[in-house]
Amino acid sequence: MRGAYAAGMLDALSSDGWRGAVDVIYGASSGSFLAACFAAGHAGPAAAGFSADLASPAFVDLRRFGRRPVLSLDHLVDHVLGVTRPMPWDALAASRTGVRIVATAVDDLRARTLDDLRTPDDWRSALRASAAIPIFAGPAVEHRGRFWIDGSIGEPLALARAVRDGATHVLVLLSRPVSELRPGTDAGLSWWARALDRARPGLGSLAQGTRRYGADLAMVTDPDHPDRAGARVAAVEPWRGTGMGALTVDPGPVGEAVRVGAESMRAALTGPITG
């Protein structure tokens, strides 16, 4: 649900006429859906859907724990993208903005992009794979003969990947203020997280929270970081929090997070927020 901040950012970027300036967009977890929607010109409906369609027990309900997935990818993929805010798959296929969906392979917990997505079924499968949070969203998703889980487990931000792919100018969208992420600059996992990963692949990494962002955050905050390889990097972070968490279903703070995200993007493009 923290993707609401990035949803607002991408809606502002698109509605203010910047979509054509983006050559490639990378996304993991909720970011994979937002990346696809942005490329398809569907960023506005995606942002509106956070408070209207996703801030609901139909999508997130902790009472289902142990019986059914707490987070329903069926609701997101089949109902929201299929019924209430239908994804324009043809527009996605024709988009000049490339989309790189990041998912984590179960067998080695390494992140990869799921490429050569041509049909709506290909896209739906890849989006599910990128957002398959261990335990909370059900079992790992099979995609083309391999099993995948949430992309943010192996790679919370695809900054290094974008640079390796040849990007010269990178805009990073953060779903938390940098001040909240800074304590996690040590990217190494604790012993208990590694043990949990062996028992249930990806769960230990996920449990480390913001610590997973360490290596990527170092690239964001250090202009002289060697892995930048000369690329120019800018990051947009929420200018304030709204009191919401990853599983918040209260439409109030979720909708406010979308607004904060949009304000943050426009401030980055035009000037600081005052007042």
Q: Which residues are catalytic?
A: 29, 150
234's tokens: 């800018």
Question: From the CB of residue 144, how many other CB atoms can be counted at a distance below 10 Å?
Answer: 12
Can you read off the two tokens belonging to residue 208? Answer: 């480390």
- Give, to the nearest 10 degrees, the angle between helix 120-130 and helix 30-39: 150
Nearest-angstrom CA–CA distance, 123 and 102: 12
Determine the Cα angle at 101 with ends 74 and 148, to 5°: 60
**What dihedral do alpha carbons 67, 251, 101, 28 form, nearest 10°?**
-80
Q: Which residues contact 195 (CB under 8 A, 6 or more apart)?
A: 204
> What is the torsion angle, in degrees rounded to the nearest 10, for the CA atoms of residue 116, residue 227, residue 152 and residue 207?
160
Residue 156 three-state SS: coil
Break the chain down into helix, strand, coil percent, rounded to 5: 50, 15, 35
